[in-house]
Structure 1
Amino acid sequence: MQRKVVSPNDFTDLAEVRNRLRAFEDRYNGRAQPFQWKFTATDLDDLLARLDRHALTGCQESFASLAS
């Protein structure tokens, strides 16, 4: 929104900012269309499990380096 609406920052007052934001909202809502998510709950569970494994491995490696 910053690049599309509030740049350049050449507003004379807050009312002008408000009007430009509302005009953008109206245009966007008039064109917006729903989309299908491809990232499922199962994908999220898999990602979180991989992150947990990675974090655990990183911690074990850090402890090992401290012990030596």
Structure 2
Amino acid sequence: MNLRLDGKVAIITGSSRGIGAAIAIGYAEAGASLLLVSRSTPSEETLARLEATGQPYYCLSSDLIDV
């Protein structure tokens, strides 16, 4: 299956590591622009992989429990 998300924006919580980071990278590779929300900054490796996709992304540090 070749899922494309060109022109879409995805908001991904818990995106600084693990499953959330993998989802963020996958969505960017599929063409989505991203808003990444997590308590900590994504790792250098995650940021490098996101940069390599060429898709725009913005990282927002927030603890959603406080919202």
The structure whose residues are more often helix, as a share, is 1
* TM-score of the superposed pair, with normalisation by structure 1: 0.23
* TM-score of the superposed pair, with normalisation by structure 2: 0.23
Higher relative contact order (CA 8 A, sep 6+): 2
